[in-house]
Every structure is written in C-alpha cells, then in structure tokens.
Structure 1
Amino acid sequence: MNWLVWALLLCSSAMAQEHRDPTLDHHWDLWKKTYGKQYKEKNEEVARRLIWEKNLKTVTLHNLEHSMGMHSYELGMNHLGDMTSEEVISLMSSLRVPSQWPRNVTYKSDPNQKLPDSMDWREKGCVTEVKYQGACGSCWAFSAVGALEAQVKLKTGKLVSLSAQNLVDCSTAKYGNKGCNGGFMTEAFQYIIDNNGIDSEASYPYKAMDGKCQYDVKNRAATCSRYIELPFGSEEALKEAVANKGPVSVGIDASHSSFFLYKTGVYYDPSCTQKVNHGVLVVGYGNLDGKDYWLVKNSWGLHFGDQGYIRKIGRELSLNLGKQSFIPLILLVRSQCQKEESLVNRRSVYKTFFSCMFAEFFTTFKLKVAILLF
C-alpha cells in the first residue's frame, strides 16, 4: 500500500465526521461495479467514498454551469473519480523537466506556409490504441513511444506498438529517468538513440512497475536517429510540426480535477499554470464552434475523457501546449536503412546508411530540412 493510501487512512477518522450521503449508496455501488473497484480495508473505502462524493459534486455543478453556457466542456465520473488531484499527479503524472534546460532549438517554422485547417493523425493510421499506464508515473515513456510509433508508420507503412516498459526499465540512472517515479521524454529519445533501438510492446509488454532491463536487440522494433526541439512558446511552430511531421510529444499541466475528470468538449481551465507535470501526445488540431483545439492522446485508458483523448484542448487559451521548455519530435527512423545495411558487407555500411538517410530526407522532408539537420 503506497504512502498516499496510508495518508488517506490516517485521516479517515477525521473525514468520517463528514457523514456520507446515504441517497448516493446505490450510485456508489454502481460506480464501483462499473470500474471494478475493490478496497482492501473498510477505512480506505470510507475515505474513497468521501473523495468520490466531493468529485461528484464538482462534476454535477460544473455540468450544470455547462448547460447554462458557462463552460465549453463537460466533466464525468470516470475510473479516477475516487482520487484526489494530488494522488493523480503523484501516481500518474510524473514528467520531469529540468529547471534550466540547455535549449537547442533545431526546428525552423515557415510563416508563409499554408497549413490545413485541421489535422487528425488517427485518420491516417499513424496512432496506436490508447494505453493505460496504471499507478505508475510513466507518462513520459508513453508520450515518447507514441511519437516514434507514428514516425515508424510514416517510414515503413507499418503501425507497431512500441514498449513503454523498455523505457521504464532501461533508460534509468544514466539518463536521469526514474521509471515509475518519472522521467524526461527527451532522455527517453536519447536512450533509444544510444541503445540503437527499442522493443515492441508485444515482445516487452507493459507491467506498470519498475523491473530489470530485458531489452533484446533481436526484438528491436524501431530506432531513431535524433529528435528535434520546437521553439519555446511557439504554438504556430507546434501546429506546423503536427501538420507536416506527425504527432508530437508535449508536456502539460494536468494537476487539476477538471483535467482528470474531463469527459468531452473544448477544455480550458484558467487555473492551469506553466508548471509542466504530465507527458501526452498531440495527434492533431482543429476548430469547434469557433474554438481552436489540440487533439491530445493520453495514457490513462479508454475510460478517461473521450475514449482516452482530450479531444479538444483550446489552442488560443490552452494549458501551455507549445509553451513549455521542450517538445521533442522524431524526424528519422533508421529501420529502412538497417535493412539495407544487412545486405551489404561491413565496409559499405556507412555509405549505405548515409545514402539511405539523405534519400529519406529528400523525399519526406525536402532539401531545406536536410540542410538544417546536416
């Protein structure tokens, strides 16, 4: 039992003074059955019930205000409805961000470029199914593999779920990552580069806990050559990157109950700050009823939001999307080059690799991007 649960139990006697509402007994039982909730101790259930009632009141009042046109999104009592904001952040939102990041912006946007009004990479088959990270602060790993999965699809035509557990177990001390206790998306990418690959989800399944590194190069499903960083505070650069390159790993502030209880609509909470604590994947953008939004894939399962997505996070009034200090984007997957390398002898390996690299850049990202990176 983790320390958060112990803290709940220690204060449960005090909380018990706030008598639960007996008229909600049936709905509490229905909610527990719906999400398979079971509690080991009676005191824990008492504490959870009181948290649930508090969240239910928040949801009910918010949705009443939504019906009166006061909000652009609705809330719902999902599987996280018996948790506090502090618990959700501690257990499921452990993105690490350096206090002083040595910025190395390599992405240059084109202000004269005409971009599509909307984009959804799910429609192009570049996004895998929504995952559930469980009580493990591995959001950074799921965000990273999500970006790479799309690039693998764009380069090879195959959509493969990559192993977040590989990153949790293996990209550890050397990279400043701490598995289920949090990590850096940038260092997840760097591990894949240094390790010359990452396993597939099928060969290295997710366990939602820290474990011994079991990476096997024979099961390598993808690799990348580098990642790029978007300019600080540039939402136009983010829009251009999403439109032209694919889904982008980003960090956001997810510390509010309005976030983890989100159900549908264009999300906007004015209390959101620039404190980045959760890694997600931007898979598109658009406009609904005059409100710009980012289409965001989360890793909290299908019960969160709209089938696992915060489908519409306001772009003009967003949660700092594009305003945090780094947004890595995978540009090149080397799997195609590696296949060619296996067909030639050692002396021609580097020649083959660079030939393939330039070919991919010229066909996919145009000459100006190749010049930028080389």
Structure 2
Amino acid sequence: MNEKFNSVVNNCQVVWRLVHVFENVISVTRNDLCAGLTVGVWLLAVLCASVWAELDSRLDQQWEQWKKTHKKKYLNEVEELGRRALWEKNLNHINHHNLEASLGLHTYTLAVNHLSDLTEGEKFQNSAPMKIPEDLTPTPLDVTVALPANVDWRKSGYVTSVKNQYDWCNSCWAFSAAGALEGLWAKTKGKLVDLSPQNLMDCSKKYGSYGCRPGFMHHAFQYVIDNDGIASEASYPYEGKNGICRYNSNSRAATCSSYKRLPEDELSLKQAVATIGPISVGIYADTIKHYSSGVYNEANCGNGINHAVLVVGYGTDQDTGLDYWLIKNTWGTGWGENGYIRLARNKNKMCGISSYAVYPV
C-alpha cells in the first residue's frame, strides 16, 4: 500500500496541471466516453491535495467488505486509492458525528453507505441550486378542517417501494413526479401502480427536463397532461440513462389533468400533505448523503434546491419532541431509515423543504 500511495503522490504536479485543463473544458458524467480518464485524474488530484498521510491499514478489511457489500469496481489502482481516501475521510466524519450524537449533541446519526466513496460534487454533479421558474405561480389551499397531528400515506397504500436512481443519474425529479402521480392514482382510483420515471426522462425533453440531467417535477406533470398518460414501470422499466422516447398509449397506467404549486411556507405543505396526499418537493441535499436515522435537524443545511424527493407524511418524534417531515428518497433502501429521512419540520424551511412543492391533480 505504501508504494502505491507514494507513486500517486509523485505524480501530483502533473495531475494538477491536467485537472485545471479538464475542468475548464469538459463536464464529466460517468456515462461520458472520457469518464475513465477524467475521473481518474480528478481523484488523483483529490488524493494528492489531502493531508499527505498514508491510508489507515487497520481499515483494510472493513474497506474490502464495504466494496463487496456495495459491489464496487474501480477503473484502476489510481481510482481505488482516491476512492479509499474519500471513504476514510467520510468514515472519520461519521464516527465523530455519531460520538457527538451519543452525547446528545445531535438528533440524528450517520452511517457509511453506497455513496461513501463519492464527493458531494460527484453525487450532485450538474446539480447546483436550481432557480424555480418565475411563471410558476403558487396556489393557496382553502383548508378549514383541523389537520391531524400525524400523517403517513404509506399506511393507506398510496406509496410504492423505495427505488434507487443510481449514483450517476440525476433523475430524482422523474422519481419524485412519478411518486406524486402514484399517490394521486391510488387515492382516486384505488389502485397503487409503480409508474415509469424512465418514461418521463425520455419523453419530456421539450418541456425542459430530460434524462439524467436535473429537472423540474412540474415539467413531468405537463408532459403527462399533454401526452394523456404515463406508462407503468413494468412496461417501461428504469435504465438510469438517457434514452429515446418509446411511450405507447396502450401501456398507459395513469393520467393527470393539471398540477399546482404550493406557497413557500410549511403550513401550506402540511395542509397539502394532510388533505391531498404525497407531494413532490425540492430540497438541498448536499449534507444528507450519510444520514442514517433520527430527525435531521442541521442549521447548516442550505435552502437552495438541488434534489427532488417525495413528502409522504409528517409527525412528531417521541424521543426529541421535534416535528418532522416523512420523506421518501431515491437512493435505495440501504440509505437512511429504509430509504426514508425524517427532516425537521417548522425549522425555518429546513433544507428548503417548502420552497418548491408541486402536486398533480
């Protein structure tokens, strides 16, 4: 391991020159033909810019088990060294945080997962906070009934299983939109059907959202309205990559007639979740990558929008007394609380939770 590490370090000066060239010329995703070269170069630079310390050999067995568990394969030794360094850095942060949590300094815990060898920049590549279209006018709800203290639409059969969008595809908007449509269809038709995010990814390009690029859920709803339908997951399965639209009306599984945006306050979101069903929202997700359990209450979570999720309920945590939003994510069941996160509610729009909330009708 020492010889490999030293070999990496000796190439630092060359690497930094290459990185400056690439970062000004190429925008990289894992699907690009040049991904192997640029990812390797970038990771080498990350490793060289670190604390110049050797990797902790005491973690070798844990590293190998983690790779096996998450089926990790790397392009070469250079990439693996870089990934290992990132993984160790994340592991140290997680252990430190959880120690503080055990002392009552935090209301949530962290854990390593399939994202632990990625940087925030990779996970949210091309996902800088997005500007919500100004012409998307909020529509207040007219709710006069008392709202329940707790809501969980999973118990009513309005929520399908947790999915995984894959690390390299920014298709969260399509999953969030599909989830809201699934809830609408289950509530109005009494039938819960897994709908196709891939259908939305492939076919809503003219509306401004396409494939593995960041997008907006209302674009997906508009496509479904104009197309008079969306396919089921069974007939149009997820591929995690850009594709050609191949929707067939014979495979239509659900529809909607319009959509609405909520005002940017948490009371409006609570009213909608309680009376309508699962709601598509945008959040700032850079800091939740390693969330494991508890109520995520973190003052440094930004208010910009760079990730789409589905609010399926709300409640109050019995241990901490914190109000929370119950949120379905699309990073697999190994992340968070079986794929869900409880995000602090009534905490000044934690992570931008109510900044962009939309639902189909």
What interval of TM-score do these two structures reach, taking the shorter chain for normalisation? Answer: 0.7 to 0.9
Instruction: Quickly say closer, same or farther: Cα 1:224–1:5, change in 2 above 3 A.
Output: farther
TM-score, length basis structure 2? 0.85
Aligned to 2:262: 230
Q: Compare 30-39 and 215-224 and name the one that shifted more.
A: 30-39
Q: Which amino acid aligns with 2:244?
A: K
Aligned to 1:298: 329
| Partners of 1:4 and 1:87 within 8 A in 2 | no
Give, in angstroms, the shift of residue 105 of structure 1: 2.1
Aligned to 1:137: 170
| Partners of 1:96 and 1:184 within 8 A in 2 | no
Distance 1:5 1:104 in 2: 44
Is 1:308 the counterpart of 2:343? The answer is no
The number of residues matched between the two structures is 321
Deviations 1:30-69 (A, max 9, x none): 1111211121201111000000000000100000000000
Give, in angstroms, the shift of residue 100 of structure 1: 4.6
Q: Compare 116-125 and 30-39 and name the one that shifted more.
A: 30-39
SS at 2:311 equivalent: strand
Q: Map of 1:340-359 to 2, 5 A cutoff? A: none
| Partners of 2:39 and 2:79 within 8 A in 1 | no
Distance 2:210 2:39 in 1: 19
SS at 1:122 equivalent: helix
Distance 1:275 1:209 in 2: 25
| Partners of 1:130 and 1:301 within 8 A in 2 | yes
Distance 1:19 1:197 in 2: 55
Alignment counterpart, residue 357 of structure 2, candidates 327, 330, 334? 327
Q: Map of 1:172-211 to 2, 5 A cutoff? A: 172=205, 174-211=206-243
Distance 1:143 1:190 in 2: 14
Is 1:29 the counterpart of 2:64? The answer is yes
TM-score, length basis structure 1? 0.82
Unpaired segments ≥5 residues, structure 1: 332-374
Distance 1:114 1:250 in 2: 23
Instruction: Quickly say closer, same or farther: Cα 1:147–1:158, change in 2 above 3 A.
Output: same
RMSD over equivalenced CA pairs, Å: 1.7
Give, in angstroms, the shift of residue 162 of structure 1: 0.5
Q: Map of 1:1-374 to 2, 5 A cutoff? A: 1=30, 2=35, 3-13=38-48, 15=50, 17-90=52-125, 94=127, 97-98=130-131, 100-110=133-143, 112-134=144-166, 135-172=168-205, 174-232=206-264, 234-256=265-287, 259-288=288-317, 289-310=320-341, 312-317=342-347, 318-322=350-354, 324=355, 326-331=356-361
Distance 1:119 1:260 in 2: 25
Unpaired segments ≥5 residues, structure 2: 1-29
Give, in angstroms, the shift of residue 98 of structure 1: 3.4
Instruction: Quickly say closer, same or farther: Cα 1:228–1:96, change in 2 above 3 A.
Output: farther
Q: Which amino acid aligns with 1:184?
A: F
SS at 2:260 equivalent: strand
Aligned to 2:3: none
State percent identity of aligned pairs.
47
